């Protein structure tokens, strides 16, 4: 079929820039230790995206990690509030490619967060 344009690749695979693609990951975990470990692993490795590398050969992947301590804080980052549709983000307007969340957190579980995002 048709080869996607650079804009289409950017929209579906993160931000393209000279030397690679930035994949934006929102990490949500109430444990500061777990957040630091996941953030460190993601920043050091682009190997999680082997399938993308076959689609865009000879491209490097970099992880931009936003780490927060609760589902409520993640919703703020994403511009969501409980029971409402998306609104202007209270922090900034990142385009998040992946949400990696803990399941068991106080106030809002990871499952509840992902239901709200969906």
Q: What pLDDT score was predicted for residue 106? A: 92
Q: Which has the minimum average pLDDT: 7-21, 42-56, 70-84, 91-105?
A: 7-21
To the nearest 10°, report the CA torsion of 71, 75, 78, 82. 150
Helix (H) or strand (E) holding 115: helix 110-117
Which neighbouring-strand residues pair with 15? 22
Burial of 27 (0-12, 13-18, 19+ CB in 10 A): buried
Residue 56 contacts residue 62 (beta carbons within 8 Å): no
pLDDT, mean over the chain:
76
Q: pLDDT per residue over 1-24, tens digit each?
A: 554 444 544 454 455 555 677 888
Q: Are 39 and 32 in contact (CB under 8 A)?
A: no
Q: Which residues, including other chains, have CB under 8 Å from residue 110's CB and lie 6 or more apart?
A: 28, 71, 101, 102, 103, 104
The class of domain 22-117 in CATH terms is: alpha beta
Query: Which two tokens mark 52?
Result: 């993308």
The lowest-confidence range among 48-57, 69-78, 89-98 is: 48-57
Query: What is the pTM for the complete model shown?
Result: 0.68
Domain spans in the chain, listed from the N-terminal domain onward: 22-117
The strand ranges marked E within 1-118 are 15-17, 20-28, 61-68, 98-101
């Amino acid at each position: 079929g048709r080869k996607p344009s650079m804009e289409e690749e950017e929209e579906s695979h993160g931000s393209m820039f000279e030397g690679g693609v930035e994949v934006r990951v929102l990490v949500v975990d109430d444990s500061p230790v777990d957040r630091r470990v996941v953030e460190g692993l993601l920043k050091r490795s682009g190997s999680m995206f082997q399938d993308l590398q076959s689609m865009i050969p000879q491209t490097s992947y970099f992880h931009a990690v936003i780490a927060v301590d609760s589902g409520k804080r993640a919703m703020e980052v994403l511009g969501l509030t409980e029971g409402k549709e998306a609104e202007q983000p209270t922090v900034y307007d990142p385009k998040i490619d992946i949400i990696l969340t803990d399941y068991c957190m106080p106030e809002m579980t990871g499952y509840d967060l992902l239901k709200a995002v969906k």
